[in-house]
Structure formats: structure tokens, C-alpha cells
Amino acid sequence: MFKLFKEPAADVKKIRNILLQFIKEKLQLAEGGEGANINGIYLYVNCTESERYLYESVVHAANPDKFRDVVQKIADDYAIQLPSSWKYEIVFTDKYPDHSYVSAEIKTALFISTRKAGIVNKKARAYIRILGGNAEKEIYVLEPSKEKINIGREAKVQLNGGFVRKNMIAFTATESMDINRSVSRQHAHIEWEPSSGSFLIFADEGGIPPNNKMKIHTADGGFIKMQAIEVGHRLQEGDQVILGDKAVLEFTSTGGE
């Protein structure tokens, strides 16, 4: 029985060593071994649900900064000078992005985003469907843009200091208040990230404790509570975002208008 508890730890160490060697080799290939042009390192894990706990331990999923520090140390040891602002992200997915490095030994892939090549997303246009609550539209179109797409109750809201916030995805203030009332006037926003070719959603001041709530049910069964305005979530096909208690948005790249 004791052996059953020891094997996962051994497996974690073995997989982590393979993964780190894999990352080191690919970092050395990227930009001819020079890291100055690298702006993001994205790790993708395609494992079964029963294996997920194992891979979460491998990459320190509960504390991504810990694994990022390990990757930074590898770069430092091999004189790969990553810029201080490089991004690191772990994604559990059932499909690897185009042009990623796929490991032959473990269930992971790596994409190294540089100034010359970001993750290619051929379907840059995406959609937000309103599944719960009353909004001005049933479907909203997302296009790559430098502008934030604000989400909240009412289309125009005057904030402290006289500033007017415009909510592009706007829940009504007069109908179905039992659903809409927990949607803050400044609840969240969506941003386009060119380097990864994807949309990220962030909670705003009205969407984090102690104010109203914001949660995400991911398509792979994950559950995320948004706790800080600085940390965004990369939207994946089928993600459902719950604003307050009952207002629900669904992200999709298919099914359009």
C-alpha cells in the first residue's frame, strides 16, 4: 500500500525532468539561442482527466510563478537572455495550437512566441453568447482590437470623477432584475492579445470580492474564481463566464451571427 503513495511522486519527478529538458532544447532553438525576441512561453498539456492531478503537480499549476522561476533559471544557466516581461502560461487542452513543439515522450506541447511569430489563430473573430440574463443583444462579435470590450450593467455608466464607462456587452437595468442585479456596472472586460492570437477576460473592480462575483466554468470541467483585476483568463472554446449569480456568457469561435 505504501508503494501506491510513492509512485506518483516518482512519476512527477520523471515527467518534470523530461519536460524541463524539452523546454531547454526548444529555448536553445528559438531565435538561434538568443532570448531577447521571446515574449511568451506557452505550455499545453493534453492528458486524461485521471492524469490531470499528475501533470498539475509537474507544472506547479497551483503556483505558476514557481514553474516560471524554474524556466527562468534554465534560461539563465544556458545564457538565454529572456526579457523581464516574458509571459508564461499553462493551458490544459485537448488540441495543441499550430506550429507548437509536441513532445514525443510526455503529453505536452510548447509554443514559444516571439516578436516575429505569435500563435496563429486563423479564426480571430469570436463570439459571446448570452445564456443567462437579459442583455442588449443575444450574440456579440469579438474582433482583434486594441480597445477593451467592457462588460457590465447598462450601456453607459457615470463613475466617480465624472468618467463615463461604455459597456459594449451591456446587461439591461430594467428587466429581469433578479438575474441582472448582481451584474456590476463595471464587472469585467475582454482584451485581444496579439502575441498569442487569443482573447483574455479580466475582472474589473465590480467583479471581484468584496463586490460582486465572477466565475468561469471551462469547457474541460475546470472552475475558476476571479480574485484579482491584474490576472486574466485566456478564453477557450465553450468557456462559460458567470457574472454575479445567474448572468452567463459563453465564448465560442463558431456559430456566429
Q: For the beta carbon of residue 43, count every other beta carbon within 10 angstroms.
A: 23
Which one of 114, 148, 175 terminates a domain?
114
Q: Which three cell numbers stand for residue 98?
A: 499550430
Q: How do residues 87-110 score in pLDDT, each as one tens digit?
A: 888 889 888 876 788 999 999 999
Shared-domain flag, residues 248 and 130? yes
What distance in Å separates the CA atoms of residue 184 and residue 171, rounded to the nearest whole number?
Answer: 9
pTM above 0.85, yes or no: no
**Is residue 183 domain-shared with residue 204, that is, in the same domain?**
yes
Question: Beta partners for 141?
Answer: 127
Q: Among 5-9, 103-107, 164-168, 206-210, which is the least confidently predicted range?
A: 5-9
Pair 145, 207 in one domain:
yes
Last residue of a domain, one of 81, 114, 147: 114
β-strand 101-102 against 87-92: which pairing, if any? unpaired
User: What is the domain count for the chain?
Assistant: 2
Radius of gyration of the chain (CA): 20
CATH number for the domain that contains residue 161:
2.60.200.20
Among the candidates 58, 88, 114, a domain finishes at 114
- Pair (139, 105) in one structural domain: no
Q: Is residue 121 part of a domain?
A: no
Measured distance CA(171)–CA(223) in Å, rounded: 23
Distance CA(43)–CA(90), nearest Å, equals 5
pLDDT for 127 beyond 80 = yes
User: 168 in a domain, yes or no?
Assistant: yes
| Same structural domain, 138 and 45 | no
Bigger pLDDT: 203 vs 57: 57
**Could you tell me where the beta strands, DSSP code E, fall in the chain?**
38-45, 87-92, 101-102, 108-114, 126-132, 139-142, 149-153, 156-158, 164-166, 169-171, 188-193, 198-203, 214-217, 223-225, 233-234, 240-243, 247-252
Task: Specify if 120 maps to a domain.
Answer: no
Containing domain of residue 240, as a range? 126-252
Q: Which amino acid is at 93?
A: T
Say whether both 151 and 235 belong to one domain.
Answer: yes
Asked if 247 and 227 count as a contact pair (C-beta separation under 8 A), the reply is no
If asked whether residues 234 and 137 sit together in one domain, one would say yes
pLDDT tens figures, 105-124: 999 999 887 755 444 444 46
Indicate if 135 and 102 belong to the same structural domain. Answer: no
b/e code 160-182 from CB counts within 10 Å (16+ = b): eeeeebebbbbbbeeeeeebbbb
Same domain, 132 and 93: no
